[in-house]
Structure 1
Amino acid sequence: MHELSITRSVVETILERTGETKVLDVSLEIGKLSGVVADSVRFCFELVCAGTPLEGAALHISEPGGRAHCRTCGEEFTMDDLIPLCPCGSADIEMLTGRELRITSVEVV
């Protein structure tokens, strides 16, 4: 379960910037094509935050879908599965969105 180490890294990154200040709310963006399971991050968040200034913080996760551009036909299309194929059948695509993993906001006291 790599989500545990990812969640630990997110919490450490927040603590590096907030120090001992109490954190009330954390918002993350986890793209549906990132390979990170948002529900697992939710589960791990409470465990990783225990005993830190983030303990008890609310966690909000948005999960944007994927968008890609086909280099063969020029179409831009949505992708919600990890198989990178354009509707035209080409696998020569450029991922535009869907692989994000970022902290979008942190609310402190």
Structure 2
Amino acid sequence: MHEMAITQSVVDAVCEHAAGRRVHCVTLEVGALCAIVPDAMQFCFELATAGTVADGARLDIGVQPGAARCRTCDESFELSDPILLCPCGSADVEVTAGRDLKILSMEVS
């Protein structure tokens, strides 16, 4: 389960930026094409934050849809899964969104 390693990296970054302050909430944006299961990440977050300044914090995850542009027909379209195929049938596509994982915000006190 790669979600644990990714979540641990997020928690490490959050705790570093919190600089000893208590973390109450972390908001992430996860691209639909990242192959990350939000529910698995929620579970891992509770484990990864245990004993840290983020222990007990809430994790809010928003999923950004994938998007691509076809190099054959020049159409832009949404991708809901990692199958990179344009509605015109071409596989010559450029992914333009949906592969990022961003820490959007965190609430600290």
TM-score interval (norm. to shorter): over 0.9
Query: CA offset at residue 82 of structure 1?
Result: 1.1
Query: CA offset at residue 19 of structure 1?
Result: 2.0
Unaligned runs of 5+ in 2: none
Runs of 4+ deviating beyond 4 Å: none
Unaligned runs of 5+ in 1: none
Q: Deviations over 1:25-73 (max 9, x none)?
A: 1000111111111111100001110111101111100001111100110
2:15 alignment partner in structure 1 = 15
Cα RMSD of the aligned pairs, angstroms, is 0.7
- Output the TM-score relative to the length of structure 1: 0.97
Identity %: 50
Matched positions, count: 109
The one-letter amino acid paired with 2:69 is H
1:92 is aligned to 2:92: yes
The one-letter amino acid paired with 1:97 is A
- Secondary structure of the residue aligned to 2:41 is helix
1:25 alignment partner in structure 2 = 25
2:101 alignment partner in structure 1 = 101
- For 1:28 and 1:106, how far apart are their aligned partners in 2? 9
- Secondary structure of the residue aligned to 1:52 is coil
1:51 alignment partner in structure 2 = 51
- Secondary structure of the residue aligned to 2:72 is coil
- Output the TM-score relative to the length of structure 2: 0.97
Query: CA offset at residue 24 of structure 1?
Result: 0.7
Query: CA offset at residue 81 of structure 1?
Result: 1.4
2:4 alignment partner in structure 1 = 4
- Secondary structure of the residue aligned to 1:5 is helix
